[in-house]
């Protein structure tokens, strides 16, 4: 019975960690970009900074495009493990006089709760990714002008 709760908590913690990692992909502010550009003397150095920002954006975009993959996968893992452990618990009690239904329901509930938590983190990850994509577009648009 504890195994299902352990899996649900582990999936939820990994989803939360993933969301925190996505938060680090925010672009630098416009004032920070302008300060970097103003600190460079030549046009060549400024173009190198712009190119570095574009590469950083490409890397962030790659990671942001996969923002919901982890939480969705972990939601499925949580639900599947809770269901499998519940079925296993119920199957163990088939030949015995005592009912294994309460234990099976608790295991399924653990998987279901873990799925809901991971799905919530997935929605947050999707929103964070959309916000960061727009912020990167705005930041590079500010550099281009």
Q: Is the pTM of this model over 0.95?
A: no
Confidence band, pLDDT 50/70/90 cuts, at residue 109: very high
pLDDT for 34 equals: 78
The encoded tokens of residue 38 equal: 């103003």
For the chain, what are the domain ranges?
2-144
- Residue 58 burial (CB count, 10 A): 11
Burial annotation 10-32 (CB, 10 A radius, 16+ → b, else e) = ebbebbbebbeebeebebeeeee
Please check whether residue 82 is in contact with residue 109, taking contact to mean a CB–CB distance below 8 angstroms: yes
pLDDT, one tens digit per residue, over 39-75 is: 877 778 778 888 888 898 888 888 888 888 999 999 9
Q: What is the mean pLDDT of residues 72-83?
A: 95
């Amino acid at each position: 019975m504890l195994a299902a709760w352990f899996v649900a908590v582990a999936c939820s913690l990994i989803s939360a960690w993933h969301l925190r990692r996505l938060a680090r992909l925010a672009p630098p502010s416009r004032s920070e970009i302008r300060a970097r550009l103003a600190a460079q003397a030549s046009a060549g150095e400024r173009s190198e900074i712009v190119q570095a920002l574009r590469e950083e954006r490409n890397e962030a975009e790659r990671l942001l495009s996969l923002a919901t993959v982890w939480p969705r996968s972990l939601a499925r893992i949580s639900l599947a493990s809770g269901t499998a452990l519940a079925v296993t618990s119920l199957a163990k009690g088939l030949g015995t006089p005592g009912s294994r239904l309460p234990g099976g329901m608790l295991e399924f509930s653990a998987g279901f709760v873990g799925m809901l938590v991971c799905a919530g983190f997935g929605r947050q990850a999707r929103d964070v990714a959309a916000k960061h994509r727009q912020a990167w577009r705005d930041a590079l648009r500010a550099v281009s002008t």
